[in-house]
């Protein structure tokens, strides 16, 4: 029995494509006066990549996005990049994107029902918020409650809208990829 290679040419191309989607959507952000954390489309892009690619390839895509940003290319919020962004008050959220991708991608890959997909994105977002809030509190010398008030609570309604958008659009694209005979090449070992 021939062992399937995980990183096929097609899968690598899809990882590169979803990395590009994250890089294009993430810089668009809106600063809000009560927080150093801007509203951005990054979490939606990460969840979308996880929906299309699954947890392994989706997390590779997010990791590549972070490396691109660390080189200084302006792919982080407000068209910024570099190590200073990771070391700044929003750095914990950037690291949290890896866990958001792992968790939401796992739920997309292992469960067929949209309720589980929503649960995966909510859990992943909660873990991302945890990393972000802890780092924000450390950087800005805030209590955890102050960190939640500045870095989590104002963003919950927007993140719920983003989750709904991913639930509506992601599976449609995935079904079209399956119909075109392409999705089977995306995820090795998927239970779908």
Q: Say if 92 falls within a structural domain.
A: yes
Share of the chain above pLDDT 70, in %: 90
Domain-embedded: residue 33: yes
Name the band, by pLDDT with cuts 50, 70 and 90, for residue 108: very high
- Flag whether 130 is in a domain: yes
Residue that wins the pLDDT comparison between 156 and 33: 156
Instruction: Please report whether residue 2 resides in a domain.
Output: no
φ/ψ region of 81 (left if φ > 0, alpha if ψ in -120 to 50, else beta) reads beta
Domain membership flag for residue 1: no
Is 135 among the domain residues? Answer: yes
User: What is the four-CA torsion angle of 50, 55, 56, 57, rounded to 10 degrees?
Assistant: -10
Residue 119 lies in a domain: yes
Task: Name the phi and psi angles at 52, rounded to 5.
Answer: -75, -40
Contacts with 88 (C-beta within 8 Å, 6 or more apart), sequence order? 36, 139
| DSSP conformational letter for 29 | E
Distance CA 124, CA 126 (A): 5
Domain carrying residue 97: 9-185
Summary count for the chain: helices (H), strands (E):
7, 2
Total structural domains within the chain:
1
CATH number for 105: 1.10.1760.20
Question: What would the two tokens of residue 24 be?
Answer: 């294009």
What does each C-alpha distance from 4 to 1, 7, 189, 191 come to in angstroms? 9, 9, 10, 16
pTM of the full predicted structure?
Answer: 0.88
**Range 87-116 average pLDDT:** 95
Query: Would 192 be classed as within a structural domain?
Result: no
């Amino acid at each position: 029995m021939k062992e399937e290679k995980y990183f096929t040419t097609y899968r690598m191309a899809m990882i590169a494509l979803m990395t590009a989607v994250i890089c294009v959507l993430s810089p668009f952000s809106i600063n809000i006066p009560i927080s150093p954390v801007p509203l951005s489309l990054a979490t939606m892009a990460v969840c979308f990549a996880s929906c299309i690619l699954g947890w392994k390839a989706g997390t590779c895509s997010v990791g590549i996005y972070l490396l691109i940003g660390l080189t200084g290319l302006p792919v982080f919020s407000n068209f910024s990049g570099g190590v200073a962004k990771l070391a700044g008050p929003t750095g914990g959220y950037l690291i949290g994107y890896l866990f958001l991708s792992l968790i939401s991608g796992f739920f997309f890959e292992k469960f067929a029902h949209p309720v589980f997909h929503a649960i995966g994105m909510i859990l992943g977002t909660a873990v991302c918020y945890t990393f972000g809030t802890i780092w924000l509190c450390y950087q800005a010398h805030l209590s955890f409650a102050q960190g939640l008030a500045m870095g989590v609570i104002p963003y919950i309604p927007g993140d719920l809208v983003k989750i709904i958008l991913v639930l509506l659009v992601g599976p449609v694209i995935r079904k079209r990829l399956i119909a075109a005979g392409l999705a089977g090449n995306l995820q090795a070992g998927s239970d779908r």
